[in-house]
Each structure stands twice: as structure tokens, then as C-alpha cells.
Structure 1
Amino acid sequence: MTEPNEEPAVWQGGTVWLTGLPSAGKSTIAVGLAERLRAEGHRVQVLDGDEVRAALSAELGFSKEDRDTNVRRIGYVAGLLAEHGVTVLVPVIAPYAVSRAAVRELHAARSLPYIEVHVATPVEVCADRDVKSLYAKQAAGELTGLTGADDPYEAPIDPDLRIPTQEQTVGESVQQVRALLTERGLS
């Protein structure tokens, strides 16, 4: 509670964009980080790629153009929330560098903090995890256009953080992102 003549604290919002292959661990890290940040009293929103696609981009397919449109829409919503003091965690595949750069530029133009985290799990490990059975469906010929299998994924060249999930626990991954948030003054 603030004193009568005190200004309320300004809550610094920002976006943490977690990109990587399907089943890399993006959502798992985002959910773990969200729980930790909420427990610390932060305002947090997770914009999971699958959930947001269903709500904002259901009419889109999976062509390069449609994927780009979807990523830009998610980036726009993340920016709106960040402007209002929310730490936005965005676990999405976002396979194309140009789309991710557009989201970064949108945040920069609005002076909003933006952190790109590459969840750098090898495709073999992702296929073993196969959380949504996508790799199995692709291998059986039931699915085409799977990012990292038969559709391209342009790994970030210079992300703010690269996490090799096959080499560490979820807790260690969450801690790495949390430490970067502190370093960047976002919490």
C-alpha cells in the first residue's frame, strides 16, 4: 500500500519469447517460470502457441505466410500485455527468423523489453518426447509440414539465452530464464 503522497510503483512488463521445435520443452519451461514468478508476486501471462492459434488464428493453415501471420499476431498481443506491466511468456515454435525479428522490432518500437530464448533441443530428443504424437504421425505419413522434420526451423543465431534441455532439468532451465529476467531488470 502506498502512502497518500507516494507514487505507486511502476510494474515493468516485458516479453519472454521461447522458440524451439515441437516437444522441445518451451511450454514446460514457461509454465514452471510462470508459477515461480506468480509466487513472487509478479503479474504473468503465458501465451501458449497452440492455445493462441486456436483463439486468434484458427482460420490460418501452416504455410510460411500463415505461420508468419500467426507469430505476428501473438507478438502483438504480447506487446499489449507487456505495456500494461505483465511479464508475458510466449512458448511458440515460431520457425522463421523474419517473424521473430518482426516481433522483436515491434517491442523495440514501443520501448518494451523483449528476451528471446532458444529452447535448443535436438530433433531426435524432441521425437523421443513426442508430447503430442506429432513425430509419430509424421513418420507414419499422417502429417506433413512438421517443423524440424519435413518443414524448416531457422534456429536463432544470437538469442538472449540458449537452453539445451536434454542436458539439464526443467528446474535448471527455469532458473536460467529467471536469472536473465533479473539481470535485465524485469523482476
Structure 2
Amino acid sequence: MTKIKKINTQSSSLFVGRWQPFHKGHQTLIETVLKKGKPVVIAIRDTEISHKNPYSTYERWTMIQKALKKYGELVKIVVIPDIDEICYGREVGYDIRKIELDQKTETISGTLTRLKNPPTQKIIWITGQSGAGKTTLASALQKELGGVILDGDEMRETISKDLGFSKKDRDTHNLRVARLAQVLSRKSLVIVSVIAPFEQTRSKIDQLIKPIWVHIKRKLPKDANKPYQDPKQPHIRVESDKQTTAEQISIIVNYLKTVNHTSQKS
């Protein structure tokens, strides 16, 4: 018969949160219990990555582990499904209590922390009709700035293999790419070479990751099977019929310098 080893028989305090990100206010709150020698369980809500929830579960786990490392086995971190309420019935042997902190700590905001320390590096999204030159431009831009490329065809063969080309599927595909770009941008410049044909879809992408939009134009015959709406106000517009790839790169790099988005090639 297998014996169950009890790691710690002492009762624990449970803290549940998004921890987006885990900041000094959170640390102070949890340390009010840890400093008394009582174990804590920190539950990370497994939220879907979005503009409001930009950090992955792994990143939040790492933040908490690093901040509370000195407490060793007193800290246990678990991941739970996302929740919007905590329910309980009759008294079952535990209390729900609010820990009062000083006013300065109480006012620490996760939203302000995210604004002051944005989690992402840079995401450049090259949009344009099929055949406009997105792949060529993305490759040249990577040689100039470094980073990783998310290519539309490759994304279709991997993360969106289950999707077709209806407007709904195109929308889903683009948002999947946006979420992947958001995760990758923690460590690197990301160059996205995906059509993103609809203004409404690009608006959703903006809400999620706010990329630098590069619209690459080329005179091409209209194809009803390949719909495309020109962006109204991209950050940068280049034209394959009038500019060489080198000239397009120069335009993009000069723009990035003006907004402090240049990256050292690694």
C-alpha cells in the first residue's frame, strides 16, 4: 500500500488573484501572514492573455516564486481555472478575512504597474494584400533589427490548422497570432507578416497588443476570394511598386527611432 507523505500538517492561508503583475502590494499583503511563520497557498487564476491580463501563467508563477523565495516551503503556488466569485455554505472550519494594510500599500495598482512597466517589447505587424511583399519585407526587417517572424502561411499550418477562410475564421486566426506575438514579445522583437484583411479585426488586435502597423501596398488585381480593406491610419505606409525593399526598411527604421522602438540586433 502506498503511503501518503504529508508535507505540512499546519493549516495555511489562501490568497487568490490574477497577479497581473505580482507587485509590492501583493508581496506585503502575503508577508503579513508569512512573517508569523504560517504557510500560504497562492492561487493564480488562469486568465486568458489580453490587454488587461498580459502576463502568462508561467511568468506570474516566476514573479511570485522570486519575490517570496526566502520563505521556502512556507509558500505553495497553485494554478486554478479563472473564477469570478468565491462561494461557500455553512461554517466549514475556516475564516474569510480582509487584511488591512497601510494607505500607501493599499493604493498600489496593478494597472498603474503595467503602465509604468509595460511587459512587452515591440510588435511590428506588416499588413497588406496577398502578394504585396509582406514576407520579403519581414525577412529584410529581421536582418536589420533581429527578432522573430510570425509568417502567415506558417501560422496557418500550425496554430490555425483547424480554421478555414470565412470572415469568422480569419478573425479567429488573426487573434491567435496576436496572442502568440504578445507572449513572444516578452523576450524579443516580433515581426508579424499576416494579412489581417479587415479593419474590424485590426481594431481587435489593437485592443490586445497595440502593434506598430506597417501597411505595404502594391497594385494587384482584385480577387473576391481574397478580401482586403486598406488601413485608414497605419503608423507606416510603404509601396512595393515605388520603393525598393531597402528603401522600405529605411522608412520603417527611421519611424521606429522617432518613437524609441528600435531594437539592437541580437
Q: TM tier, shorter chain?
A: 0.7 to 0.9
2:130 aligned to which of 22, 29, 37: 22
Q: Are 1:12 and 1:186, in contact at CA under 8 Å, matched by a contact in 2? A: no
Aligned to 1:175: 250
**TM-score for the superposition, normalised by structure 2:** 0.52
SS in 2 for 1:89: strand
Aligned to 2:231: 156
Aligned AA (1:170): T
Cα distance, 1:92–1:17 mapped onto 2, change above 3 Å: same
Report deviation, 1:53.
1.3
SS in 1 for 2:123: strand
Cα distance, 1:12–1:62 mapped onto 2, change above 3 Å: closer
Aligned to 2:173: 70
Cα distance, 1:185–1:54 mapped onto 2, change above 3 Å: same
CA root-mean-square deviation: 1.7
Aligned to 1:138: none
Q: Are 2:120 and 2:182, in contact at CA under 8 Å, matched by a contact in 1? A: no
Report deviation, 1:165.
1.1
1:102-123 residue CA offsets vs partner (Å, 9 max, x unmatched): 1111025xxxxx2001111121
**Cα distance in 2 for residues equivalent to 1:173 and 1:12:** 25
Aligned to 1:59: 162
Aligned AA (2:137): I
Aligned to 2:52: none
Q: Are 1:14 and 1:79, in contact at CA under 8 Å, matched by a contact in 2? A: no
**TM-score for the superposition, normalised by structure 1:** 0.73
Cα distance, 1:178–1:12 mapped onto 2, change above 3 Å: farther
1:71-117 residue CA offsets vs partner (Å, 9 max, x unmatched): 000011111112x1411111111111111111111025xxxxx2001
1:6-49 residue CA offsets vs partner (Å, 9 max, x unmatched): xxxx99711111000111011111100101113xxxxx010001
Q: What pairs with 1:27-176 in structure 2 (closer than 5 Å)? A: 27-38=135-146, 44-82=147-185, 84-108=186-210, 114-124=211-221, 148-151=222-225, 152-176=227-251
> Looking at both structures, which has the greater relative contact order when contacts are Cα pairs under 8 Å and sequence separation is at least 6?
1
Unaligned runs of 5+ in 2: 1-117
Structure 1 outlier segments of 4+, above 4 Å: none
Report deviation, 1:69.
0.4
Unaligned runs of 5+ in 1: 1-9, 39-43, 109-113, 125-147
Q: Are 1:120 and 1:162, in contact at CA under 8 Å, matched by a contact in 2? A: yes
Which entry has the higher C-alpha Rg, 1 or 2? 2
More helix per residue? 1
